[in-house]
Structures are given as C-alpha cells and as structure tokens.
Structure 1
Amino acid sequence: MNYTHEQLPAINSLARLVKLVAFAGTGKTTTLIGYALARPQSRILYLCYNKSVEQAAKQRFPNNVVCKTSHGLAFGAVGTRYKHKLTQNLRLIDAAKAINSQNWDLVRTVLETLNNYLASADAGIELDHCPPEKMKNERMRRAAAGVVAAARLLWARMQDVEDRAVGMTHDGYLKLWALSRPNLRSRFDIVLGDEAQDINPVVAGVLADQASYGLGVVVCGDGHQMLYRFRGAVDALNASWLNRAEVHYLTQSFRFGSAVAHVGNMILSFKGEQRQLVGLGLATRVTKKLPEGLDHRAILCRTVVGVIESALRLADQGEKIFWVGGIDGYNLQALEDLHALSIGQYDRVKGKKLLQEYPQYTFYKEVASDSQDPEMLRSIQIVEQYAKDLPALFAKLRLNAVADELEASVTLSTAHRAKGLEWDAVQLAEDFSFEPFNPNNVREAWEDEMNLLYVACTRAMQVLAVNAPVLAIMAEFVGRRDGVRPATPLVFKQDRLAA
C-alpha cells in the first residue's frame, strides 16, 4: 500500500496517545488500517460510531482488530440484563405515565433533562442537565428542582429490572456501563476512537479512562464534520486529556478534485480554518444543476420531510429510488398510521399502541403543540400536507424503492445519513432553509449548519450541484476576496443555542 507523506507519520507513530485530524475524504480509515497492519501483535479495538460502520470495518481491518460500537460493548457487559425491557427511546406518553403527569411541557423537559444526563460524563442528575431555556431566572431555577427530581425518578425506574412499565434505552445501559469505569486493558492494547467530533461526553469519558489505564489510544475525526450537537455530542478532539497527544493532520483528499475542495475551503474559511483541503481526485465540476442523462445521482436533503417530498416527486417520474438506511427508516408506516388516525379510520392503524395512547388525533396534536416535540410536529406537517392521498402516494414510493443501490437511478438521503458515503454526482436539495450571513444567527446553530453543508458538498466525486446557501457562501467569499465586499467579522445574535 502506498501511503501519503501525511499518513505515514501517523501510521508509524510510537506515541501512546495520538490525535488524527482528518478532513473530508482524506483517507482516515485507510490510515487507521495501516496503523493496525503495522502492529500485527497488538490487540486493537476499533470503536465504531454506528453499526453500519462496524459492519463495513469488519470487511477491511486485519484480524488483530475487534470492531465494535460503544453500545455493543456496553450491551455485553450491562445491557443483557435489560433484554426484556429494551426500547429504542422513551416517548412522551411513557414518561408521562412514569412520573404521573399530564403537563406535557414538564414531561418533555424531564425527558430532555434525563437525555442530557445520559449523554454526559456526570455521575448523577443535577440542575446542570436541565435545558438552559428553563433556567433563565431564579423562579425557573427553583421550579427546575422538580424537573430534576422527576428525571431521577424516571432514571431509577429505567434501572429497575423488575419494572417493565418503564423501558431501558440503549443510551441508558451505555451510561450504566460508563459509570462502572470499564477497564479494557485485559482484552486490548490499543483503542482506536473514530468520529471523535461527534461522540458524546459519556463515550469520550470511556476513552479518557482507557488512556489513564495505560492503553494506547488513537482518537480521530474532523471538528468541521460535527453534526450531532443536538444529540449531546461534543468535539472530543478538543478535550483537555488530549493536550499531550501527538497530533497529525490529513488534508489531501483523493475523493474529489480541486473544484469541490475549493467549495469546501470557502465554507471552512468562514469558520476560521487556516489549513486548506486539497483535492487530488478526478477533476470535478461545481454547477447549479446536474447535467441531463446521468445514469445515477444522489440528492441530499436537510430534513426527512425533504427526502419524502423529493421521493414523491421522483416516483411520479418513474425513477427507481434507493433510500440510504432503507425506506423503513423514514417512518412511512408510522405516518400512515397517523394519517388513518387523523381521518378516523382506526381499523387501518397497524401500530395499535398509537390508538391506546392517542385515541383521538386532536389529542395527538395537543400533546405535540404543548410539548413542541419536533418528531410529532414533523409528522403532523406531512400528514396534513398530503391529507387526501397519502396512503396511495406511499404505496407508489414502496413500489419505486430498490434495495440494491446499483439498480437505482436516484439515491435519496438526509445530509446527516450521508456522512461517510460518496457518489459521482450529488445534488443539494433546497430544503436547507439556512441564511449563512443573517445577523440573527446563533453561533452554535450556524456552525452546525455550516458543518452540514461542508459534509454534504464533500460527498461528490465528480459533479456537485449546489443549493442557495452554498451559492450565498461562494458569492460572499469571492466578493471579499476581490474587495467588492468588506471583510468584516460575522455577526451573531448570541454565541450559544440557549443563552
């Protein structure tokens, strides 16, 4: 294998603590594989970000590497105790019953507080885990004590193996495993921690523990590809325990050529990045619209609603569609059930739990409005927008969906799900309702949207069709470069998502 002058120093590093900062498409996985191949006698754990990455990694890494997600490790150690009461997530209705409340805003706040705690490295649930918008003044802070007490009750019931009324989530048993301060030294010599910019503090704490126990730790990622702050993720690359790490940078991408790299650099320049992403792949084009006659193209949307609306339009044109993550991952059946509920056709509701919890559609809307639950609100938006013929439209979507991407003329995905993937031709959808230079932007939210655009743009290997926000960024960059626009600092309404 021929490695670049950037990859080789990382592969041959003798440091016990290494930080690998890898820009989009710069061969991060190839470098980690090279690192493992250079140490055939070492027992290495590759800590994968998700299950799909784990499955792909098992096909590529040598036999001295065990590929596992943090949840996979935690399930073997702790999660098996809760097999009988595992649930994907605690819904509002579940939490309301558990804490005996019909105050939906309170229930949502309790759930958010609990989830903030589960993602943290903290030992117990405290006021710090309450949503910041609920802590703006002294009266709100006093009321938050009740939220903390309810969250502690909910967490206690989750941990009770005999209490089947409150399920244990996957993040719940991960938290319990992390609280046990696991020492992996008996099984491994080195841990490779991938996607460090998007792991949450609880996993980052496990990695820090392994370094303190004497294992070799390699942490890799790209802060500009941080996409999951809204789930409690932190950029672990900036953690203080990595201050003594040996640092290596990968900036040369063989995925795309200079044109896509230039777009990426324009986005990153406004974030203050000084290093340049270098495109060494095939020549690429950046356009406003993909050329006609392509055998295949990928369309990346900001939202699930955007994906579904794009699919509805494409199905009318007879396109064969591949859904990244599978069509079932976009909750079509749940939406059909909600549609049936909305028109009173209760016999068509397949998920009977929906009927048990929300006997009337008006009650569902009331809970959604009171709690401002984003998933419920998005579902209502789709159901009411396509109220007349949603089942028929969804039947057409299933008919036009293919399981093998090679059979598809179009691949559809949210930009979040597209991370780690690549296509020859990529079109960015117009549902990125983001104004990059709006002075009312909140800095953290602005950074998240800029990261998402950077990730989306760098999925293209040959042709990239950009959308309005990227065009605005390109125009501002060129205007500043050519002296047409003043190079003034960007203005933000506030620095944090909830100040």
Structure 2
Amino acid sequence: MPFMASKDLELLEDHFVRFQSNRRLTSVQQQYMSKALNLTRGVWEKMVDINDRSVPMTHDGYLKLYQMSQPDLSQRFGAILLDEGQDVNPVIANLVQIQKITQVTVGDRHQQLYRFRGAVDALNSPAMRDAEKHFLTQSFRFGPAVAYVANVILSFKGEKIPLQGLGQPTLVKRALPDDLPHRTHLHRTVSGVIENALRLVNQDHRIQWIGGIDSYSLRDLEDLFYFSRHMNDQVQQRKLLNDYADYDQYVVIAKATQDPEMLRSIKIIENYPDLPKRIEQLRGASVTSELDATVTLSTAHRAKGLEWDFVGLYDDFSADPLSPDIDAGKRDDELNLLYVAVTRAMKILAVNSLVIDIMQRFKDMKQRSKP
C-alpha cells in the first residue's frame, strides 16, 4: 500500500496509484474513488485496532503507525544514522528528518536499486540540502580493472568523481575459467537465474541460491508450464487462471509488453518439455551453504552488499540503458544495477555482452571527442 511507504499522516486519494495523474476524474470515477478511500480507511482502522483481529498487522503497518506518532528521539539519543540512504522509503526518511538531533546519512546514489518499490534517495532530498557531504571514492574489494569498468558505466550517468580500486589486481574477462572450484553468476531476472540453473544442473553442479531456492518462483514457472499444456487442474496459483484466458493470451501480452520475466519464462517452457522433472533436479542439486556449492546464483538486486572471488554476469540484462527511447529514470536504474553487479567481483569479473557494448560505446565516444 503506497500509504504505508509514504510520509503522509493520513490516507488520501493521492495514495491510489491508478488515479495519480493530472487529469480530472469523471463523476463515476470520483464515486469509485470515494468509496475505495472509505473502504481502505476502514481496513487501516481494523489493522491498528488491537481488539480487532480480522485484519492482521504487518511489518509495514506497525512501522507506519510508529512514524505517524512522530516520535521525538532527542531524549534518548544525540545522533541518528541512516544507512543505505539512497534507497529508503519516504516513511523512513521522514522518521529521521523530523528529529532535532544530529543526522548522519550514509549511502551511494549509484546503488539505488529499489525506486520501483517507491524508495527515494534521501541523500539528495531537500531536507539534506545543507548537510555536510563526503564521498567514498575508494574500494579495497577489487583492483583497477574492475574500477575501470564501473567508471565507464557511471560515466553515462554523468559521474565526474572516479572510483579507485585499491584491492588486489582483478582480471576482467569475457568468460570465467573452467577449472574454478566455485563461481558466482549474477542475473537481471529471476527467470534468468532459473534458466541458467537448468543449464548448470546438467553439469553436476551443486547450486547455492542467494535467498534460498524457494524464493525464485519455481512453483510459478511450473504452474505456467501446466497452463501451457492445458493442465489447469495442476495449476496451484489461481491468479494465473484469473488473469489470462489461456496460455496464448499470456504469450501475446508478454510480446506486447516486452516483459523480460514473461518472455524468458516462455523461452524456458519452449526449451524444456520435461520442465517439472528438471525442477525436481534443481531441488536435488540445491545446497544452502556456499562451502558446499560449486556455483552460487543470484539476481543483481540480491547481490547488493555481497562479494565473491569469481563473478560472471549472465546475458539476461536485456534492457539497453543507453537507448534513446528509454527515460532518464529507467536508464539510471539499469546503469545502477550494472554498477552493483560488476563491483561484486574480487579476483575475476566476466562481463556480459551488454557491458562489452557499453565499453565499446564509451571508447567510440572518446575517439570522437579527440581533436
């Protein structure tokens, strides 16, 4: 619910995303809006009523309730530190900014990954306008080679302060060596993780899934497989049956919207006619500890804050962040994700075709700018 992530102290019409536009509502739409607003306020009242258990309280709910109380922390603390300040919900940012004590915000604007969830960059908010700013421009995780790749990516965001790699020498290659005892693959999409895992399981790899295998929507993919085979009685996710008349409609919508998760899921189903059996293989090859794994798989989002010796980027980063058709916000989101992904490697980074293309365009741009 957008209200819970907002700084607002009251549930308003603005929190209905569908009606967040400058156009005026018709009388019928306004009636629906008023009715929906009253019903939603009723749900919220039930949620916060400790004597009413019909609507359970959520983590987001009690955080919102705390923020609405506008607590004064000055009686207990002399300073407050907001970490990951580039990726906070307005509700958290407001909790910090209302305090009358020293405020310290730490973050990296190039690691903002969750704008699609409503997260904002508190580092650049008006409340931090007069704040003293310090920039972290050095990393001991990797050497100059990875830093160079990162700086090329950030140059397309207009970054002027270069990142220095002060760690051990790092190699940048097009592919990881075959004889490594362990490697990590980072992906843009969940379906990309699954696609890669299906390939790796045939090579007798023991696979660690960052976040656990059950968090990668394998059951949803299996449901889609049964849906494509008209075996609707095997589909556990009823929403799939409610949202699409049949699998053909799912394919049409996927192609029309160019949704990367949907398109890659379709590709997996086409390539693996025995998909349920393959998914069972994946579960059998899954391990929980990196010490027991030969391969670690993750999305780039989940890899944030982590590091590995040998990292390869999978070729499912399909959106071209430098396309003239992409809006500035989406461009920065994709460049941020690539930046986070390439800076996870400590010894060897294997780049994908998108990063190679970006580096070539950077080189061409430099050549053209020469007198």
TM-score with structure 2 length normalisation?
Answer: 0.85
Aligned to 1:325: 211
Aligned to 2:181: 295
Q: Deviations over 1:34-65 (max 9, x none)?
A: xxxxxxxxxxxxxxxxxxxxxxxxxxxxxxxx
| Aligned with residue 425 of structure 1, among 304, 310, 335 | 310
SS at match of 1:143: helix
Verify: 1:207 aligned to 2:96, yes or no: yes
Looking at structure 1, the residues matched to 203 and 84 of structure 2 have their Cα atoms a distance apart, in angstroms, of 38
CA distance 1:129–1:376, change in 2 (3 Å): farther
SS at match of 1:417: helix
CA distance 1:387–1:480, change in 2 (3 Å): closer
On the 8 A contact 2:315/2:352 being kept in 1, the answer is yes
| Aligned with residue 472 of structure 1, among 354, 357, 361 | 357
SS at match of 1:474: helix
CA distance 1:387–1:267, change in 2 (3 Å): closer
CA distance 1:242–1:308, change in 2 (3 Å): same
Alpha-carbon RMSD across the aligned residues, in angstroms, is 3.4
Looking at structure 2, the residues matched to 217 and 302 of structure 1 have their Cα atoms a distance apart, in angstroms, of 34
Superposed, 1:333-344 pairs within 5 Å as: 333-337=219-223, 339=225
Looking at structure 2, the residues matched to 178 and 327 of structure 1 have their Cα atoms a distance apart, in angstroms, of 34
Aligned to 1:259: 145
Verify: 1:226 aligned to 2:112, yes or no: yes
Structure 2 gap ranges (5+): none
On the 8 A contact 2:14/2:20 being kept in 1, the answer is no
Structure 1 gap ranges (5+): 1-114, 488-499
On the 8 A contact 2:149/2:342 being kept in 1, the answer is yes
Identical amino acids, percent of aligned pairs: 45
Instruction: Kindly provide the amino acid, as one letter, of the partner of residue 201 in structure 1.
Output: P
On the 8 A contact 1:415/1:452 being kept in 2, the answer is yes
CA distance 1:312–1:155, change in 2 (3 Å): farther
Superposed, 1:48-63 pairs within 5 Å as: none
SS at match of 2:86: helix
Aligned to 1:170: 59
CA distance 1:400–1:139, change in 2 (3 Å): same
SS at match of 2:98: helix
On the 8 A contact 1:287/1:464 being kept in 2, the answer is yes
On the 8 A contact 2:260/2:318 being kept in 1, the answer is no
SS at match of 1:299: strand
The Cα shift of 1:136 comes to 5.7
Looking at structure 2, the residues matched to 153 and 486 of structure 1 have their Cα atoms a distance apart, in angstroms, of 63
Aligned to 1:403: 288
SS at match of 1:435: coil
CA distance 1:284–1:148, change in 2 (3 Å): farther
Aligned to 2:276: 391
Aligned to 2:24: 138
The Cα shift of 1:246 comes to 2.3
Looking at structure 1, the residues matched to 347 and 27 of structure 2 have their Cα atoms a distance apart, in angstroms, of 53
The Cα shift of 1:302 comes to 0.3
Q: Deviations over 1:364-386 (max 9, x none)?
A: 878997xx9x8995897478546
| Aligned with residue 172 of structure 2, among 246, 271, 286 | 286
Instruction: Kindly provide the amino acid, as one letter, of the partner of residue 120 in structure 2.
Output: V
On the 8 A contact 1:416/1:452 being kept in 2, the answer is yes
SS at match of 1:197: coil
CA distance 1:476–1:170, change in 2 (3 Å): same
CA distance 1:470–1:387, change in 2 (3 Å): closer
SS at match of 2:146: helix
On the 8 A contact 1:259/1:285 being kept in 2, the answer is yes
SS at match of 2:346: strand
Looking at structure 2, the residues matched to 315 and 296 of structure 1 have their Cα atoms a distance apart, in angstroms, of 14
Aligned to 2:202: 316
Count of residues in Structure 1 that have an aligned counterpart in Structure 2: 363
Aligned to 1:239: 125
The Cα shift of 1:473 comes to 1.7
Aligned to 2:332: 447
Structure 1 stretch 251-260 or stretch 430-439: which is displaced more? 430-439
On the 8 A contact 2:170/2:347 being kept in 1, the answer is yes
SS at match of 1:394: helix
Verify: 1:128 aligned to 2:14, yes or no: yes
The Cα shift of 1:116 comes to 2.5
Structure 1 stretch 132-141 or stretch 267-276: which is displaced more? 132-141
CA distance 1:338–1:172, change in 2 (3 Å): farther
The Cα shift of 1:406 comes to 1.3
Structure 1 stretch 125-134 or stretch 467-476: which is displaced more? 125-134
On the 8 A contact 2:191/2:261 being kept in 1, the answer is no
Looking at structure 1, the residues matched to 138 and 282 of structure 2 have their Cα atoms a distance apart, in angstroms, of 39
Aligned to 2:3: 117
CA distance 1:437–1:237, change in 2 (3 Å): same
TM-score with structure 1 length normalisation?
Answer: 0.65
Looking at structure 1, the residues matched to 24 and 164 of structure 2 have their Cα atoms a distance apart, in angstroms, of 51
